[in-house]
Copies of this chain bind each other. A is one copy, B any other.
Amino acid sequence: MTAPSPRPRSARQSDVARIAGVSQSAVSRVISGDAARIPAETRRRIHDAIAELGYVPNPVARNLRGARTRLLGVHTFEPLFPNAREGFYVEFLLGIEQRAEETGHDLVLFSSTGDGAGGRRIYRDETNRLRIADGSVLLGVSPDRAELARLWHEGYPFIHIGRRDVPGAPIPCVIPDYSGAAAGIVERLHGLGHRRLAYLRDSIDVEPYEDRRAGYADAVTRLGVVDRSPGFVSGTAGVPDEVVSALADGTCTAAVAESERVAAELRARLTDRGVRIPEDVSVAVLEDTSAADVGWDDLRIPRQEIGRIAVERLIDMVSDPAAPRESTYVACEAMPGETVAGVREDRR
């Protein structure tokens, strides 16, 4: 038996109708359940004809009438599984897929680049590629905010995972609450007796880091803790010498690092000076370091849950275009590790 080629044009409702001796609309009604006034006998004839022809509705044509496609888009601004961040997007996707499955949606992964260069774009030769889907989840760092603004103005339903600020276009996001998590970590250090902290910033200036800084700053002020970083909000990136010295001599008793990269650098510098973590100095990281598995006190981003929530919100937007489009915050758990301890007795 050989493959049926050249593929015969698939049967359509009109073919079924001809065989069953009814009109195309009768077929349509029977198929789409609106068969209230079609008697069993006719229905049977139609079903027989369907079986005979192996008729299968064309979903594309169905959708044309303005019905929903029940497709949800997933647009990542970088390849879905960049090696550098293995497991990063995938975890969000896991939650997205779960919720999509539960709500009877399929997903469209927008993997095509657009035009070879310039990264993944939403608009390709003036057309919004996302439009096949009823709405889309966006994730990753967009290289081009104007695109997001345009998308928003178009009224297309979408939700962004992670905070993204675009002037003039308050795009709805699902946001890990880095600010609250940072505050929580400061509180924890405070509870352990730490009163003089240092903040280590990375050189990245995107929204999520701003959130961390804000949360840290608030908590420091609120608890009356002293921050000794060299002007952490506008300050230097990386691990300045002053901070290493301050931690070594007890001027500071704990450090809060924005990213694992900075934390690792700090650890190296402290080890050089013979300073131990956590015996001498406590270090917490404001990032999910579970992949590295080195025991940092850090925070956990509930990626799966965030994915689920994003789909949830997206479906709301799709089903009610007039619904409010606000951002949602999702709490991050502070994860105790092996790098935070009570303050050293002689340094209280």
Residues of chain A whose beta carbon lies under 8 Å from any beta carbon of chain B: 1, 3-8, 10, 31, 50, 54, 56-61, 63-64, 69-71, 79-81, 90, 93-94, 97-98, 100-101, 104-113, 123, 126-129, 131-132, 150, 152-155, 168-170, 321-325
Contact = CB atoms under 8 A, between A and B. Distances in A.
B111 A155 contact: no
A4 B321 CA distance: 9
Contacts of A325: 3, 5
A57 B129 CA distance: 9
Contacts of A108: 71, 106-109
Contact of A101 (B57, B69, B79, B150): B79
30 contacts: A3-B170, A3-B325, A5-B325, A6-B321, A7-B321, A31-B126, A54-B153, A56-B154, A59-B131, A60-B60, A60-B63, A60-B131, A60-B132, A70-B112, A79-B97, A79-B98, A79-B101, A80-B94, A80-B97, A81-B93, A97-B109, A97-B111, A100-B111, A101-B112, A105-B112, A106-B109, A106-B129, A107-B108, A107-B111, A108-B109
A223 B105 CA distance: 53
Nearest to A47: B126
Contact of A107 (B7, B109, B152, B154): B109
Contacts of A101: 79, 111-113
Contact of A126 (B4, B7, B50, B63): B50
Given A56-B127, A56-B128, A101-B113, 15 more contacts: A1-B168, A4-B155, A5-B321, A7-B321, A56-B131, A59-B131, A60-B64, A100-B111, A101-B112, A105-B112, A106-B109, A106-B110, A107-B108, A107-B111, A108-B109
A97 to B, nearest CB: 5
A90 B97 contact: no
Contacts of A98: 79
A98 to B, nearest CB: 7
Please provide the 9 A-B residue pairs with the shortest distance between their CB atoms, ordered closest to farther.
A7-B155, A107-B109, A7-B321, A5-B322, A56-B128, A57-B127, A4-B155, A59-B132, A101-B111
Nearest to A90: B90
Contacts of A110: 106
Contacts of A63: 60
A90 B178 CA distance: 28
A104 to B, nearest CB: 5
Nearest to A168: B1
B109 A113 contact: no
A10 B154 contact: yes
A77 to B, nearest CB: 13
Nearest to A72: B111
Contacts of A131: 56-60
A4 B169 CA distance: 10
Nearest to A6: B322
Nearest to A67: B60
Nearest to A152: B3
A109 B112 contact: no
Given A5-B322, A60-B63, A132-B59, A106 B97 contact: no
A59 B112 contact: no
A58 B169 CA distance: 23
A291 to B, nearest CB: 13
